[in-house]
Chain A
Amino acid sequence: MNTDTAGSPEAKGPDELPDIEDSDVEKAAQETPRGLPLRVLNLEKRFGGITAVDGVSFEVEEGSLTGLIGPNGAGKSTTFNCITGVHEADGGRVLFKGDDITGRKPYEIADRGLVRTFQIARELEEMTVLENLMLAPRGQIGEKLYRSVTPGLRGEVIEQETEIREEVWETLEFFEIDHLAEEYAGNLSGGQRKLLELARALMVDPDVLLLDEPFAGVNPSLEAKLLEQIHTLREEGYTFLLVEHDIDLIMENCEHIIVMHQGKLLAEGPPEEIRNNDRVIDAYLGEDI
């Protein structure tokens, strides 16, 4: 573990909130270099008596493809939900680009440039693929009701819509789903939905993309295509945090890996290190990694 910056997990009892002072957060924020857009400190989430995430800390470096793995029930998706504001964390901090985003609403977090996809693709089914993508970009002036209705103000909206439309078609072509542009999203196959979901998240123009099992239910050829596109996007400067339970896939593609087990951070490091980590091997007992 190389990220234990703000107090060790052992220092506190199970029921207390992590004793992070505001000054700690500020310090961490100041220390967070530009190269570290996402930083999770002692994150905790309980559901009733179950502690789903238990004091997890990690960092995602800018421009990296970081993998978050762990067996079922390790708390990966809960961590994701806490980072993106879907769940309210019971303790700990999430820092994004140096700002404390803990407890913020999902839309505020997305608006800052931290965008997620969902484990089970959540398409806006009765909207076409084009509409799905048109929805995503930030800062659309036409989302103000008066602008979309008042005749004199619609010129700017239409201008912006035209620009976004171009971007949407480029994105569709990049993901090779432009032939489906006018289909309802609900009519797409599972794999196409995954592509659409990634394309839609990209249209937000995020700094960091959190992908929750983007390859689940995707056939091998589409998986290869998705991976290729993720690598291309990474080269363009996007940062990825990938949740996956296919260890091999993470090992082959990510340069930094976070392993979770039973709500705790088990190990963190480059693939070679993880591969030879005894604790990881124990957690994945019987699995060949």
Chain B
Amino acid sequence: MSVGQRLWRAVPSSIKEDDKRLIIALLAGTYLLYAVSQVYLALMNNADVFPAVANSLQNLTFLIAVYAIMALALNLHWGYTGLFNIGIAGFMAVGVYSMSILAAPPGGSPPGFGLPVPIALIGALVITAIVGGIAALPALQLEADYLAIVTVGLSEIIRLVLNADYFSGTVTDPQSNSYNVVNLFGFKFGTGGGQGINTPTSSPASYLYGPSGDPNAIGELAYGIGVSLGVNNSVVNGFTYGMFLLLFVVTAYYVLLVRIGNSPFGRVLKAIREDELVAQSLGKDTRWVKIKVFMVGCALMGLGGILWQGSFGFVNPNTFRPIVTFYIFTALIVGGSGSNTGSVVGGAVFAAFLFEGPRQLARVVEAAMGGLLITVSGPGASLPSPNNFYVAFSTLDPLGWLGYTIGNISSLRFILLGVVLVYMMQNRSEGLLGHRKEIAASVDLSERKGNVAPTDGGETNE
């Protein structure tokens, strides 16, 4: 950790001690790193510099925002209350599918309820909260480990039910043998089954810019700026949506969670995490509190799912495999569970350096090595790309190893994820920012009327 510690010490204290500045500085540094590497890549590949950078950064913005959102939602469960919910993907799926089914036209395939998108969105959050509540009722009477098993089981049940043909609603002819529309009190709907389902928000930016074929005045302006910089409309849309998520949604989640955390309610949550029997012995009805917080957290996860997976216009059940849950847990653990700032930092670090970082690094290394080989061995030279692990390692050629690593970086980064998790658990289990005291109170506890309390620099968030 000595390199890390030295780097941390190099950060000015004015940034370290202010949450907003810390997050902004981290994001700015990350963007700079990506921009520089993307400029280098564009130059090496003779591509247009600005569009390449813009495309890379819009992708990065989106990933950082969604992982921060999900890490914040999970922080309410795991970080604050100690509820080991590893069914996040399932609750995301409930959110996305509820909205899609509520908003799908009744005559479509699969049929839906045809509600307007905002109402479908609210309905989806309510449904996710209810599903969370139903999961919580029996599960929260169990010890933490059993809750984990119940939630991951529920998550898989949800995914498999969504995947099943029986509820898919793809065959709408009642005479057909394979008729599979769900009929609930006369309301007909289907999940789309393995084929997936259309989400109503295929282009979120169109709410601001107007439909893609016929943009409004703001849209014309934004697209015009895009064109003058050589950036196409989809990148402008993506950038706009990513920024909306980052600036508004992440901020809203953050403020909401700080409010919840820094309140008497948040104190009870922390007490449940630390020792539930003590909380009960002090007169706190922990069961009800746990159900409430589970429902709220699930609704936040459902909304996160809608804003993330629901924004592509289409989802299928395979999007919600348990691996998504573990990504989000990794983000939270890296950032520091229990800390809201840590959750945002974790989301950003995970997206930028663990999820997207290895691929970007591989691209840069590939370009650099390509250039180097051409200068050394003349034109046409390139990194060898062995077909499989055996070929790569039996050649005893370091360049072959490098080529193999770069070619398979998308799979190999899972090893990196594992290594980082093990390292964090052993050396810094509290995460990057988990050591901070985010005091659960609506007022600054070290302040007193009349006399000044002996403070030793304890940090508070309000």
Binding site for B on A (CB under 8 A): 84, 86, 105-107, 110-111, 115-116, 118, 122-128, 130-131, 134-136, 138, 140-145, 147-149, 154, 157-158, 161-162, 165-166, 168-169, 178-179, 181-182, 184, 200-201, 204
Binds A, one of B37-45, B103-111, B448-456: B448-456
- Cβ of B188 within 8 Å of any chain A Cβ, yes or no, is no
- Cβ of B279 within 8 Å of any chain A Cβ, yes or no, is yes
Q: Which residues of A contact B271 (CB under 8 A)?
A: 124, 127, 135
Q: Which residues of B contact A178 (CB under 8 A)?
A: 453-454
Among residues of A, the one whose C-beta sits closest to the C-beta of B448 is: A169
Among residues of A, the one whose C-beta sits closest to the C-beta of B454 is: A179
- Cβ of B277 within 8 Å of any chain A Cβ, yes or no, is yes
Question: Looking at the complex, which one of B275, B280, B439, B442 makes contact with A142 (CB distance below 8 Å)?
Answer: B442
Question: Looking at the complex, which one of B265, B282, B443, B454 makes contact with A200 (CB distance below 8 Å)?
Answer: B282
Q: Which among A106, A122, A179 has the greatest number of chain B C-beta atoms within 10 A? A: A106
Can you name 28 A-B pairs with beta carbons within 8 Å?
A86-B277, A86-B281, A110-B280, A110-B281, A118-B281, A124-B279, A126-B270, A127-B267, A128-B439, A131-B439, A134-B264, A134-B440, A134-B445, A140-B264, A141-B264, A143-B264, A144-B265, A145-B265, A145-B296, A148-B260, A154-B259, A161-B442, A165-B441, A165-B447, A166-B448, A169-B448, A181-B454, A182-B458
**Could you tell me if B281 and A127 are in contact, using CB atoms closer than 8 angstroms?**
no
Within 8 A of A (CB), among B405-462: 437, 439-443, 445-449, 453-456, 458
| Interface residues as binary, B154-185 with A (CB distance below 8 Å gives 1, 0 otherwise) | 00000000000000000000000000000000
With A122-B277, A124-B271, A179-B454 already in contact, the answer to whether A154 and B442 are too (CB < 8 A) is yes
- Cβ of B284 within 8 Å of any chain A Cβ, yes or no, is yes
- Cβ of B332 within 8 Å of any chain A Cβ, yes or no, is no
With A142-B265, A142-B442 already in contact, the answer to whether A135 and B282 are too (CB < 8 A) is yes
**Could you tell me if B437 and A115 are in contact, using CB atoms closer than 8 angstroms?**
no
- Cβ of B208 within 8 Å of any chain A Cβ, yes or no, is no
Q: Which residues of B contact A149 (CB under 8 A)?
A: 256, 259-260, 263
In the assembled complex, how far is the CB of residue B339 from the closest CB belonging to chain A, in whole angstroms? 11
Give the CA-CA distance A124 to B279 in the complex, in Å.
9
**Could you tell me if A148 and B445 are in contact, using CB atoms closer than 8 angstroms?**
no
Q: Which residues of A contact B274 (CB under 8 A)?
A: 123-127
Give the CA-CA distance A148 to B80 in the complex, in Å.
15
Give the CA-CA distance A61 to B449 in the complex, in Å.
38
Q: Which residues of B contact A107 (CB under 8 A)?
A: 279-286
With A161-B442, A161-B443 already in contact, the answer to whether A128 and B282 are too (CB < 8 A) is no
Give the CA-CA distance A182 to B446 in the complex, in Å.
8
Q: Which residues of A contact B265 (CB under 8 A)?
A: 142-145, 147-148
- Cβ of B363 within 8 Å of any chain A Cβ, yes or no, is no
In the assembled complex, how far is the CB of residue A152 from the closest CB belonging to chain B, in whole angstroms? 13
Q: Which residues of B contact A148 (CB under 8 A)?
A: 259-260, 263-266, 442
In the assembled complex, how far is the CB of residue B291 from the closest CB belonging to chain A, in whole angstroms? 11
Q: Which among A128, A135, A144, A178 has the greatest number of chain B C-beta atoms within 10 A? A: A135
Q: Which residues of B contact A130 (CB under 8 A)?
A: 439, 441, 445-446
Question: Looking at the complex, which one of B259, B260, B286, B455 makes contact with A182 (CB distance below 8 Å)?
Answer: B455
Question: Looking at the complex, which one of B264, B283, B296, B455 makes contact with A161 (CB distance below 8 Å)?
Answer: B264
Question: Looking at the complex, which one of A86, A115, A147 makes contact with B282 (CB distance below 8 Å)?
Answer: A115
In the assembled complex, how far is the CB of residue B397 from the closest CB belonging to chain A, in whole angstroms? 51
| Interface residues as binary, B228-266 with A (CB distance below 8 Å gives 1, 0 otherwise) | 000000000000000000000000000010011001111
Question: Looking at the complex, which one of A142, A143, A145 makes contact with B284 (CB distance below 8 Å)?
Answer: A143
In the assembled complex, how far is the CB of residue A277 from the closest CB belonging to chain B, in whole angstroms? 33
Q: Which residues of B contact A201 (CB under 8 A)?
A: 282
**Could you tell me if B441 and A131 are in contact, using CB atoms closer than 8 angstroms?**
yes
Q: Which residues of B contact A169 (CB under 8 A)?
A: 448, 453
Closest 9 pairs (CB-CB, A-B):
A148-B263, A142-B264, A110-B283, A124-B274, A182-B458, A111-B283, A106-B280, A140-B264, A130-B445
- Cβ of B125 within 8 Å of any chain A Cβ, yes or no, is no
Give the CA-CA distance A114 to B389 in the complex, in Å.
68
In the assembled complex, how far is the CB of residue A121 from the closest CB belonging to chain B, in whole angstroms? 10
In the assembled complex, how far is the CB of residue B251 from the closest CB belonging to chain A, in whole angstroms? 15
Give the CA-CA distance A157 to B443 in the complex, in Å.
9
- Cβ of B24 within 8 Å of any chain A Cβ, yes or no, is no
Question: Looking at the complex, which one of B259, B267, B443 makes contact with A165 (CB distance below 8 Å)?
Answer: B443
Give the CA-CA distance A186 to B312 in the complex, in Å.
47
**Could you tell me if A145 and B280 are in contact, using CB atoms closer than 8 angstroms?**
no
Among residues of A, the one whose C-beta sits closest to the C-beta of B257 is: A149
In the assembled complex, how far is the CB of residue A129 from the closest CB belonging to chain B, in whole angstroms? 10
Q: Which residues of B contact A204 (CB under 8 A)?
A: 282-283
| Interface residues as binary, B9-33 with A (CB distance below 8 Å gives 1, 0 otherwise) | 0000000000000000000000000
- Cβ of B278 within 8 Å of any chain A Cβ, yes or no, is yes
Give the CA-CA distance A26 to B264 in the complex, in Å.
37
With A126-B338, A130-B439 already in contact, the answer to whether A181 and B283 are too (CB < 8 A) is no
Among residues of B, the one whose C-beta sits closest to the C-beta of A169 is: B448
**Could you tell me if B263 and A157 are in contact, using CB atoms closer than 8 angstroms?**
yes
With A122-B275, A166-B449, A169-B448 already in contact, the answer to whether A134 and B441 are too (CB < 8 A) is yes
**Could you tell me if B283 and A158 are in contact, using CB atoms closer than 8 angstroms?**
no
Give the CA-CA distance A148 to B82 in the complex, in Å.
20
**Could you tell me if A161 and B441 are in contact, using CB atoms closer than 8 angstroms?**
yes
Q: Which residues of A contact B285 (CB under 8 A)?
A: 105, 107
**Could you tell me if A124 and B278 are in contact, using CB atoms closer than 8 angstroms?**
yes
**Could you tell me if A106 and B449 are in contact, using CB atoms closer than 8 angstroms?**
no
In the assembled complex, how far is the CB of residue A222 from the closest CB belonging to chain B, in whole angstroms? 21
Among residues of A, the one whose C-beta sits closest to the C-beta of B255 is: A149
**Could you tell me if A157 and B264 are in contact, using CB atoms closer than 8 angstroms?**
yes
- Cβ of B268 within 8 Å of any chain A Cβ, yes or no, is yes
Q: Which residues of B contact A166 (CB under 8 A)?
A: 448-449
**Could you tell me if A162 and B439 are in contact, using CB atoms closer than 8 angstroms?**
no
Among residues of B, the one whose C-beta sits closest to the C-beta of A113 is: B283
Give the CA-CA distance A205 to B259 in the complex, in Å.
27
Q: Which residues of B contact A111 (CB under 8 A)?
A: 283
Give the CA-CA distance A184 to B458 in the complex, in Å.
11
- Cβ of B321 within 8 Å of any chain A Cβ, yes or no, is no
